[in-house]
Amino acid sequence: MIEQGFTEDSEDLYQNAPFGYMTTGADGKIVNINSTLLKWLGYERNEIVLQKSFQDLLGMGEKIYFETHIMPLLHIHQEISEINIELKGKDSRRLPTLLNGMQIFKSSNASPFFRFSVLNITQRKQYEVELIKARKQAEQTVERLRQVNEGLEHFAYTASHDLQAPLNTISSLVGLLEKEGHLPPDTDGKMYYSLILENTQRMKLMIKDLLDYSKIDGNENEFEEVSLNEVCSLALEMIEVQAKENNATFNIPVLPVIVADKIQMIRLFQNLFSNAIKYRSEADPVISVDFEEKGDKITVFVNDNGIGFKQKSTDEIFGFMKRLNPHGRVPGTGIGLASCKRILEIHGGTISANSIPGNGSTFFFTLPIEGEKPEY
């Protein structure tokens, strides 16, 4: 009884396994097939067993492949493993499968039989098709973005040139009028002259900052090993006049080497240093840099003794063209800190700030030491 029960269980496992099983003779005639494979193919058992061969379940291309590749491998190596092949169902529907097989002998003098296990990979195929489709769409999106970026960069360059030309003309003409004494000598005339020059310079600065911002995404970023000390030195060279005019002092320790885009890092520190000087207090500006490493990331701190700002305004100051005191006593366009945020986003990093009005500010950013260029 136990043996009979075991046999029945084994037969049930064979018939209802999650895999298809099939046994053929040397000529390919099907001599046994389990219920799972019958269900997948849509046949009744009496329509298959001793009625059809393995080749009858194949299309023309698969049949040639079976006879010229699969069967020779079985005869030579006595087994095959994970061969991708499509079976043809009763309704001619295609069933993508992975085929495993082995040669067996019932007796030493008898012809061999071939036992096959069949894995239904319909869902895997659908998943692969979706992946290929998604990848193609992503590649098309990346290409469109590249073209858009090229167009925006060209537009920004052209627009900046076309906008600066009339501004330069206005500045020159107003300067010429003042030089030749054609401006009204009264107080109002001098005030109008100053306003024209001031607003012309403000527009020039805004155009320059807009052009710099457009270049952040417009250029191919080159990630390489970068010394942050060298970056700070080059950034200070770019604001040398501003630093001297404000008698600014910089305290910069030995900083680590990271993997990043060097040009963008210089622009990042230049904006942070320049911002610290612009928002100075009555005391001479003192700007200090510090850092800490944690795991595979580095956090850099830029501290100043400037006028500070309300902590609730932290998110606002990194907005594009956002200023806490628009057209106030501090010159600027509100693009510098937005540029810092975008540079760090490209590097897989973040930026924030802590501040108390009258007690200076600390800007700090975190980014991967080894570089982490996001995929777009």
Is residue 362 located within the same domain as residue 263?
Answer: yes
What strands, in cross-sheet order, belong to the sheet with 350-355?
A: 249-251, 286-294, 297-303, 361-368, 350-355
For residues 216 and 235, membership in a common domain is answered with no
DSSP letter string over 234-294? Answer: HHHHHTHHHHHHTT-EEE-----EEEEEHHHHHHHHHHHHHHHHHT--SSPPEEEEEEEEE
For residue 148, the model assigns a pLDDT of: 72
Q: Which domain holds residue 236?
A: 221-376
Q: Residues 186, 132: one domain?
A: yes
Let me know whether 96 and 38 are in one domain: yes
- Statement to judge: residues 326 and 299 lie in one domain: yes
Of 172, 187, 220, which residue is a domain's last? 220
Query: CATH code at 371?
Result: 3.30.565.10
Are residues 191 and 242 located together in one domain of the fold?
no
- Residue 86 sits in the same domain as residue 157: no
Largest CA distance in the chain: 124
Of 220, 244, 260, the last residue of a domain is: 220
Do 286 and 304 have their domain in common? yes
284 or 187, greater pLDDT: 284
Q: 130 by DSSP, 3-state: which? A: helix
Which pTM value belongs to this model?
0.55
Picking from 120, 137, 170, the residue at the C-terminal end of a domain is 120
Q: What is the dihedral of CA 174, 178, 180, 185, to 10 degrees?
A: 140
- Same domain, residue pair 153 and 226: no
Model pLDDT, residue 187 = 65
Pick the range with the lowest mean pLDDT from 103-112, 271-280, 344-353.
Answer: 103-112
How many other CB atoms are there within 10 angstroms of residue 216's CB atom?
A: 21
- Give 186-204 pLDDT, tens digit per residue: 666 677 777 777 777 777 7
**53 to 20, 32, 61, 304, 314: CA distances (angstroms):** 16, 11, 16, 84, 75
For 104, the enclosing helix (H) or strand (E) is: strand 94-104
Do 316 and 364 fall within a single domain?
yes
How many domains, in total, are found in the chain? 3
Q: Do both 40 and 170 map to the same domain?
A: no
